[in-house]
Amino acid sequence: VKTTIYFEGSANISNGDLREGFTTLLSRRIAISKFQVKLCNDKNSAIRVYNKATTPYKRVVVDLDKHENFRDAEIAVLNMQTQKDNCFFMVQEMEAWFSSQPDVCKGVFGNQFPAFTGNASVVDNPSSKLKELTRFKNQPYHKVKHAAELLKNLNIEKLENEFPDVKRLVETLSK
């Protein structure tokens, strides 16, 4: 059975293909025959499309936009209490995943990329922090262009160790 995963993220591929990035990342741990990625431009769209989908084999992955401690409160805000086992968060944003693996960022942005310090999951507004850290580039961090490339290079096992919802997503899809 193939599970559809609705991700918050741009479906427009003119700047990069986030669907391909997420698929490549997940396929390192889960057989590609077990899932398909669908992109929904923003959090509300992802939740709406997820709720309208008729298949019982569905999951949704969106930015939490806050610290992990607010997970249950956000589940309530999104009215996903009865679907909480199918809802996964990128804490705080997808960019926190990148900040947790500075070696991957250096591979994309060059050796002059400064490393993040501290726990990546508690960095406030990691996308702004990433833009700030790449201001030395002619093209600083772009939320789609660079994210698509970075996703393909992340180590999913490291993400599982640092981000509980990544681990839970992989475990859920592996069943």
Query: pLDDT of the chain along its 175 residues, tens only?
Result: 899 999 999 998 988 899 999 999 999 999 999 999 999 999 999 999 999 999 999 999 999 999 889 999 999 999 999 999 999 999 889 999 999 999 999 999 988 888 777 777 777 888 998 888 888 877 789 889 999 999 999 999 999 999 999 999 999 999 8
Q: How confident is the model at residue 29, as a pLDDT?
A: 96
Spatial contact of 37 and 70, defined as CB atoms under 8 Å apart:
no
Cβ atoms within 10 Å, residue 157: 12
**CA dihedral (151, 156, 167, 128) positive or negative:** negative
Torsion, Cα of 129, 166, 87, 43 (10° steps): 20
Q: How confident is the model at residue 136, as a pLDDT?
A: 80
Note if the pTM is more than 0.85: yes
Spatial contact of 144 and 16, defined as CB atoms under 8 Å apart:
yes
Q: How confident is the model at residue 139, as a pLDDT?
A: 78
